[in-house]
Structure 1
Amino acid sequence: MASPSCDIYFEDVLVPAENLLVEPGDGFRKLFTAFSWERLGNATVSLSIAQAALDRTIDYVTTREQFGKPLIEFQAVQTDLADMVVQVEAARLLVYRAAREAGTGLPDSLQVSMAKRAANEAGKRVSELAIQLHGGNGFSEEYGIERLHRDAHGWAIAGGTPTMQRVRIVSELLGRRFDQRG
């Protein structure tokens, strides 16, 4: 599930004019608009991590027994599971809305930033609760929850952290740019 990464270095590379994707001087703006697609994809992956953690936890708490009964019979487990469901579904609705509103065009920056922030936070929180509900098994490779938790944190960093998405949400909402003085 984790995405491998590496550094790539280009030295003395010439790009023929016919291979340029954007006009010189316009690249950063064009690249920045492409981030909306990247963030929407990131939100989708984060949502899938949260969903996987939820699904594995439902299976675990309905089959694992403690003190002679399934874990799901304990109210504290039920409240944590309810929180997990709500976070996954809230993130799903925001991801779906951002994708639907994009249609075949560029996703709206505000919608995408809200979806990414919600899905990143859901992935982290739901996988954290999954670890807790799995107890010691939450840290074992056998259940894969620890891997989901690591991946959730990695995806939250990629493409702009949840904190950065909060700044983007406000800048889009108010039509302001917070990256310049004055």
Structure 2
Amino acid sequence: MNGLNSKLLLILLPMLFGLIIAKNSTFNLQTTKCQFNTINNQLTCNSSKGVETCGGLVDSLPFNFTLFAIGELKATTGKIPLVWFRLYPRKLDNTGWWYYKHIKEENKKMSLHNKDKISNYDTGIVILDPLCWNRMIDVVKSSSTFDTIQAEKYNYGIFSKPYNKVKMIGTLEIM
């Protein structure tokens, strides 16, 4: 009987230790969560760095999707570097994510970006105030948990994969 108790203790002890660590606030991991309110055109994001709310607008984002994965940070180089995050819509049947190209306009890519990034090739949520956008970048990219998702392509060529692997740093919900 004593041997059985020892074996049970050896099994339960690591599980108990894991629960103690999970309850400790220093080990509390958080993914960035954002919501865009279409009534007042406000984007609010919450992560381990805090909460930020910025005014914005929707630029040709397909409204039949309400949940998007936020892809990892993207940036250009140059005199004034631009930063943005790609958006990947959740499939309507909830089985996965779509690749970030706008489904009806193949050349447009969905993203969360500031007004300086607006071009013929971008669509999504645009933050209007550059100072607020800089604070928003810090909040969104401070996600402390990540997930690798497969974003399925709507159209793909013979020699390309039917999906892209994406580092997801958060979610965006359209309200």
TM (norm. structure 1) is: 0.27
Between Structure 1 and Structure 2, the one with more helix by share is 1
